[in-house]
Amino acid sequence: MARRNPFRSEAEAFRLVLLTIAAFAAIAAATLLGGWAVGLAVAVVVTALGLWWYLRPLEEASEQQASTHASGEGERRILVIANETVAGEELREAIERAASGYQSRVLVVIPALNTKLRHWVSDEDGAREAAQGRLADSLAGLASAGIDARGEVGDADPVQSIADALRTFGADEVIISTHPEGRSNWLVKGVVDTARERFAVPITHVVVDLERESAA
């Protein structure tokens, strides 16, 4: 989630100077007029306002991102976003359904999921390696089902990885695969809803119940 950075640019830093001057002028004026208690109250209020201003999430652009590619007749590009569920039977069937009757291209993107700490220190090698392993298994599984697909490891944020892939792949349809509700972090975070709001591409949500598959 993007937030304001008061030192992102000289102009932002200069704005911080102006805000600081205004804040301290207000505190000084309040102290002179009403005493130290009023000054303290104003200080608390302006500090809270300042923190709110800088910490609140910036509004994302409301315009939907469209696919960069217009497929020809009989051609279909399918973008698949999945993580642990990438080997699921339901997902494989969904890809087959989407690709059926078309000369199709399938791109499987596996987000390199990482811990927050490792993300912030840019230690993503392990996450990418794990994602690469899942991707290789997935592509082998799809190939055995007769689906020729290529794949890549994407951004840790699944919505961002869709945005990245749409710029280069230009999908006609996006398939997002998740665990069932209650076991899916992506559903808790509203990944599917966010993707539907953000991208002007049909989004298909596939629920893969790996526990049921392994029990069967």
Among residues 29, 49, 53, 68, the one that binds another protein under rule CB under 8 A: 68
Q: What string of DSSP letters covers 67-100?
A: PS----TTEEEEEEE-SGGGG-HHHHHHHHHHHT
Among residues 13, 44, 51, 200, the one that binds another protein under rule CB under 8 A: 13
CB 16, min distance to another protein, A: 6
> Cα(29)–Cα(45) distance, rounded to whole angstroms?
14
Binding segment (CB under 8 A) for another protein, from list 24-32, 54-62, 190-198, 202-210: 24-32
CB 179, min distance to another protein, A: 22
Of 78 and 207, the one with the shorter C-beta distance to another protein is 78
- What tokens appear for 136 in the block? 């290789």
> Cα(171)–Cα(72) distance, rounded to whole angstroms?
12
Stretch 93-132 residues interacting with another protein (CB under 8 A): 96, 99-107, 112, 114, 119-120, 122, 124, 128
> Cα(134)–Cα(153) distance, rounded to whole angstroms?
10
Residue type, 19: L
Q: How many residues does the chain have?
A: 216
> Cα(49)–Cα(186) distance, rounded to whole angstroms?
32
Residue type, 155: D
CB 182, min distance to another protein, A: 28
Which residues of the chain form contacts with another protein (CB under 8 A)? 5, 7-11, 13-14, 16-17, 20-21, 24, 27-28, 68-69, 77, 96, 99-107, 112, 114, 119-120, 122, 124, 128, 146-150, 152-156, 160-161, 164, 167-170
